[in-house]
């Protein structure tokens, strides 16, 4: 309940801050697009409208605070909606650029504002192509977290023991030293792999009997080799240490 | 589903209230 309250307050606060920033930007664009404030040794040509510098600064930081509150409270499923804040901000500011680019206070059109309008609208609009389907999925309860897991680094799962060429030295990538093998997570097919293959592979990868025995012991300790398989592999390693 | 729609509605209402509040705060400060 508290999390929902936090996410509602967060999303409302983000909307409030984006509105304040957008309105502050419009007030600056009304006086030509630039302004300055504060104690300076120079004469300020375009003083900022009263309160706008504080509102813009405060709006940005308060918006980040409310966005963080929303991210913390919304949970995993609704997290894809966070990108909407990005689109909302840039589309709002892009609209301001477009509005004042077509109707500047000085008359005519302002090419600089129009260029900014195109950039901002693209920056805000393109992510919507990704965000909107994600939001629809979140609304319908189709959670991405139950789908295909993300790819793992090479040293963890991409080495498959049941690959056509097996686990031999000829299939060993250069980056994988023998000390990496104990941390490799085996594929399910490993269980059916014979102990003799394990012994041959470990010996071939390591090149010395002691190292091979250590690796077999490590595999056995992690439960990837049964007692029988471990004993058989150890025996074969000791009998034929240079087998491939 | 109805619970989810209710919560989504609350969020949309919060966005609308936030936008309205943003206008009000801006007008109050810059007046």
CB-CB contact of B18 with A16 (8 Å): yes
Q: For chain A, what is the mean pLDDT?
A: 76
**In this prediction, what percent of chain A has a pLDDT beyond 70?**
71
A83 touches chain B (CB under 8 A): no
Q: For the segment A53-66, what is each residue's pLDDT rounded down to a tens digit?
A: 999 999 999 999 99
Domain ranges of chain B: 1-31
Residue B5's pLDDT is 86
Q: For the segment A1-26, what is each residue's pLDDT rounded down to a tens digit?
A: 788 899 999 999 999 999 999 999 99
- Over residues A105-134, the mean pLDDT reads 89
Look up residue A236 and give its two tokens. 């074969």
Residue A164's pLDDT is 45
A8 touches chain B (CB under 8 A): yes
Pick from A16, A18, A49: CB nearest B30: A49
Domain ranges of chain A: 2-32+51-144, 154-239
**pLDDT category of residue A144 using cuts at 50, 70 and 90:** low
pLDDT of A52 above 80: yes
Residue A197's pLDDT is 62
Q: For the segment A174-221, what is each residue's pLDDT rounded down to a tens digit?
A: 454 444 444 444 444 444 455 556 555 655 555 578 888 888 888 888
A63 touches chain B (CB under 8 A): no
- Complex-level ipTM beyond the 0.85 threshold: yes
Q: How far apart are CA A63 and CA A84, in angstroms?
A: 13
User: Using H for helix, E for strand and C for coil, what is the string for chain B?
Assistant: CHHHHHHHHHHHHHHHHHHHHHHHHHHHHHC
Q: Which of A1, A5, A8 to mutate to probe the B interface, most B CBs <10 Å?
A: A8
Q: How far apart are CA A182 and CA A180, in angstroms?
A: 6
């Amino acid at each position: 309940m508290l999390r929902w309250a936090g996410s509602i307050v967060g999303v409302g606060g983000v909307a409030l801050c984006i509105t304040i920033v957008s309105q502050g930007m419009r007030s600056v664009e009304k006086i030509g697009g630039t302004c300055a404030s504060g104690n300076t040794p120079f004469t300020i040509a375009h003083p900022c409208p009263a309160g706008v510098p504080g509102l813009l600064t405060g709006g940005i930081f308060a918006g980040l605070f409310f966005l963080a509150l929303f991210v913390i409270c919304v949970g995993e499923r609704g997290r894809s909606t966070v990108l909407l804040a990005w689109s909302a901000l840039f589309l709002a500011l892009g609209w301001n650029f477009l509005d004042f680019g077509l109707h500047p206070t000085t008359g005519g059109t302002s090419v600089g504002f129009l260029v900014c309008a195109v950039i901002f609208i693209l920056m805000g609009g393109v992510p919507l192509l990704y965000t909107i389907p994600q939001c629809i999925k979140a609304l319908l309860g189709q959670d991405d977290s139950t789908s295909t897991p993300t790819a793992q680094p090479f040293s963890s799962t991409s080495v498959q023991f049941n690959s056509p060429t097996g686990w031999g030295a000829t299939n060993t990538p250069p980056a994988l030293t023998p000390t990496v093998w104990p941390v490799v997570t085996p594929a399910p097919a490993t269980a059916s792999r014979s102990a003799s293959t394990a012994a041959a592979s470990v010996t071939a990868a390591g090149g010395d009997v002691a190292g091979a025995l250590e690796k077999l012991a490590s595999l056995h300790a992690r439960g990837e080799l049964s007692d029988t398989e471990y004993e058989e592999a150890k025996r074969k390693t000791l009998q034929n240490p240079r087998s491939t | 589903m109805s619970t989810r729609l209710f919560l989504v509605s609350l969020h949309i209402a919060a966005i609308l209230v936030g936008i309205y509040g943003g206008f009000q705060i801006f007008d109050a400060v810059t007046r």
